[in-house]
Amino acid sequence: MRKFEIATLLPCGDARTSHHLAPATDLFEATCSAFARGALISTPMGPVAIEDLYPGDLVDTVDGDPMPVTWIGSTSFVPAQALPTSSLKGLVRLVADGYSNSSALGDLLLGQNARLLQSSPVLKEKIGVGAVLTPVRDLEDGFSAFLVSPPSHVRLFHIRTAKHAAVYANGRAVETYHPGKGVEDLLGNNIRSLFLSLFPDIDKFEDFGALAYPRMSKDTLESLTLN
């Protein structure tokens, strides 16, 4: 089991913090393991460390106006105490020098459940959209993105916005939280209820809304853009 800390913007406008215990499985860990402590999120007021965001704060989005953060989840990752069922085996460091993106604000440390927005004009031609979300774990190449094992515990975070979006973390476009399409169909009643309890501001999976971008593996992306 894993401990989760949740901060939620309630419909009434108040913020509420709660603590939860849930299975250390990919379904639950993905809710809170995108950004490592220290990631700088772009906001209208300038870069803000992920751990300093609060429900209701505005964050810049890639494709539109700033959106309010409606939910923040966090958990501790202890490399030396990896849980048997956990998918968290390390963190992924994105090296600023390994990217052509001149807006990158230094190296970025992400959890393995983060997804990065990848853009290409070829995508627009082939699938009708110009950008897709690719798991950061697929991008590990030992040069611009590589797996690291921190020497001590690291606090991991994820955020949800009013609608699914991509936000800037150290200048890279990273998606906000969304469980994905059809997840609820794979869950039993008890797990479904436990999962939704992490999100006090919603009642059902439909409340997560639509995905802003398709999700795609690196291999599928390369097969589309290189052929």
When pLDDT is averaged across residues 125-133 and rounded to a whole number, the result is: 92
Helix or strand run (H / E) with residue 109? strand 108-111
CA distances from 140 to 92, 93, 198 (A): 7, 9, 30
Per-residue pLDDT at 113 exceeds 70: yes
Q: What pTM, to 2 d.p., does this model score?
A: 0.94
Q: Give the whole-angstrom CA distance, residue 144 versus residue 140.
A: 8
Q: Which residue has the tokens 């990158």?
A: 104
* Secondary structure class of 214 (helix, strand, coil): coil
In this prediction, residue 106 carries a pLDDT of 86
pLDDT on residue 98: 57
Q: Which residue, among 159, 207, 173, 219, has the nearest Cα to 7 in the 3D structure? A: 159
| Cα distance between residue 70 and residue 208, in whole Å | 11
pLDDT of 198-219, one tens digit each?
Answer: 999 999 999 999 999 999 999 9
Q: How many separate domains does the chain show? A: 1
Tokens of 109: 């440390």
- Domain extent for 109: 2-225
CATH number of the domain encompassing residue 186? 2.170.16.10
